[in-house]
């Protein structure tokens, strides 16, 4: 009987998590709870989390606007840093006790989480707050700038929400490509931050029409690539300033957040984006690429793994320097969400246990 007992797999355990209990404002949405964490399956590891990051997709999920999010109550979170404490297969024993950065398919707002080994990369003693920035935001930027499109010397690059996490990552990844970066912001207080990253051309859409500001910078030139996490009306406006061989890379819909009319707001959001007839793409030699990193993770996990390994390697060599806006305690999750949703943050917002 003892032998049989010893051979039984590890039983589930309970851990503390921050649960999204209801949709709406951050102050009403979250609650601390205990959840059951099952033993990791084959191809999975269990991580004891020291910190996790938040992303704008979390805000959209909290508002009930992110279709990929699980039904509530649920635990959000796409990225963690921590120590591997259990493995689902002896093939992964080399990870036991290792400190890692990892993707999580939700569940990251927890003190312990299981995730697939393919989304885990060792980081040694590298700064954990910076490491957690590398997962979602730097991988998204790397994927967009190095996998789905080609960027050439001299290209004019428009980066919306340029002072945010993905914007910061894009700027750092593009700095050696000898391109002309135009950073779009909504707060002049972010100019100094962008200047510190080496950006010279900065436009504030709240102080004047951003298309007119673009034209004053570019003259007769056109935008070659727009990295757009906003959608809505900005998509149609970008389309009018994209030149031949140019591309809009759409990776978010933040213009939809904060609108309270449900389906009517969805329709209005789509209406503002307009309709593109495919044959016009050929005629004008322009393109549109949509990026959803959850879909990439599900269908092309090895691509995601390669991107994560690449940004970790670049960061550990000092070629990338993730910028941390603020580190919050887990008890301050509401304040962290409010800061991210306000649009006033720069760089990455991190939560520590």
Which CATH number covers residue 348?
A: 3.90.180.10
Pick the last residue of a domain from 257, 273, 290.
290
Residue 313 and residue 283 share a domain:
no
Tell which phi-psi region holds residue 293, choosing left (phi > 0), alpha (psi between -120 and 50) or beta.
alpha
Q: Domains in the chain: how many in total?
A: 2
Residue 313 and residue 253 share a domain:
no
Band of the pLDDT at 282, cuts 50, 70, 90? confident
Residue 116 and residue 83 share a domain:
yes
Instruction: Tell me the pLDDT tens digit for each residue of 192-246.
Output: 999 999 999 999 999 999 999 999 999 999 999 999 988 778 888 898 899 999 9
Residue 82 has pLDDT above 50, yes or no: yes
Whole-number pLDDT of residue 270:
54
Residue 96 and residue 64 share a domain:
yes
Pick the last residue of a domain from 242, 262, 290.
290
Residue 277 and residue 345 share a domain:
no
Q: Could you say which DSSP state residue 138 is in? A: I
Residue 123 and residue 31 share a domain:
yes
What number is the average pLDDT over the span 71-82?
A: 96
Residue 65 and residue 181 share a domain:
no
Whole-number pLDDT of residue 231:
77
Give start and end residues of each alpha helix (H) in the chain. 2-7, 26-29, 56-62, 128-133, 139-146, 165-174, 191-196, 210-218, 233-239, 263-273, 278-284, 293-299, 301-316, 333-342
Quick one: what percent of the chain has pLDDT higher than 70?
Answer: 90
Residue 273 has pLDDT above 80, yes or no: no
Which CATH number covers residue 233?
A: 3.40.50.720
- In whole angstroms, what is the distance from residue 118 CA to residue 107 CA? 17
C-alpha distances out from residue 126 to 82, 97, 117, 132, Å: 11, 15, 19, 10
Residue 51 has pLDDT above 80, yes or no: yes
For 203, the domain range is 149-290
Band of the pLDDT at 274, cuts 50, 70, 90? low
Among 7-11, 66-70, 97-101, 276-280, the range with the most confident prediction by mean pLDDT is 97-101
Residue 269 and residue 245 share a domain:
yes
Which range, of 4-18, 76-90, 328-342, averages the lowest pLDDT? 4-18
Whole-number pLDDT of residue 261:
47
Whole-number pLDDT of residue 267:
52
- In whole angstroms, what is the distance from residue 183 CA to residue 352 CA? 30
Residue 265 has pLDDT above 90, yes or no: no
Residue 65 has pLDDT above 60, yes or no: yes
Whole-number pLDDT of residue 166:
92
Band of the pLDDT at 278, cuts 50, 70, 90? confident
Residue 216 and residue 155 share a domain:
yes
144 is a domain residue: no
């Amino acid at each position: 009987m003892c032998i049989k007992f010893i051979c039984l797999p590890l039983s589930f355990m309970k851990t503390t998590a921050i649960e999204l209990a209801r949709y709406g404002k951050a102050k009403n949405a979250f609650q601390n709870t205990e959840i059951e964490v099952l033993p990791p399956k084959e191809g999975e590891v269990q991580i004891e989390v020291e910190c996790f990051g938040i992303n704008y997709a979390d805000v959209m999920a909290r508002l009930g606007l992110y279709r990929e999010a699980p039904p509530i109550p649920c635990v959000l979170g796409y990225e963690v840093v921590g120590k591997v404490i259990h493995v689902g297969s002896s093939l992964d024993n080399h990870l036991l006790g290792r400190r890692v950065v990892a993707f999580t398919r939700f569940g990251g707002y927890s003190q312990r989480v299981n995730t697939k080994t393919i989304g885990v990369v060792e980081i040694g003693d590298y700064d954990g707050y910076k490491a957690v920035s590398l997962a979602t935001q730097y991988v998204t930027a790397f994927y967009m700038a190095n996998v789905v499109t080609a960027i050439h010397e001299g290209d004019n690059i428009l980066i919306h929400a340029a002072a945010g996490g993905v914007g910061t990552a894009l700027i750092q990844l593009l700095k050696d490509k000898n391109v002309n970066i135009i950073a779009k912001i909504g707060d002049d207080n972010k100019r100094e931050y962008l200047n510190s990253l080496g950006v010279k051309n900065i436009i504030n859409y709240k102080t004047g029409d951003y298309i007119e500001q673009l034209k004053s910078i570019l003259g007769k030139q056109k935008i070659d690539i727009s990295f757009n996490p906003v959608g809505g009306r900005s998509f149609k406006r970008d389309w009018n300033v994209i030149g031949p061989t140019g591309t809009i890379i759409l990776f978010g819909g933040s213009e939809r957040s904060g609108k309270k009319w449900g389906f009517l707001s969805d329709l209005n959001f789509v209406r503002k984006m307009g309709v593109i007839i495919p044959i016009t793409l050929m005629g004008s030699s322009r393109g549109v690429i949509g990026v959803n990193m959850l879909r990439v993770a599900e269908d092309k996990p090895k691509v995601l793994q390669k991107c994560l390994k690449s940004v970790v390697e670049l960061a550990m060599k000092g070629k990338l320097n993730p910028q941390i806006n603020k580190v919050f305690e887990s008890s301050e999750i509401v304040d962290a969400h409010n800061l991210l949703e306000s649009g006033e943050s720069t760089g990455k917002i991190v939560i520590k246990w």
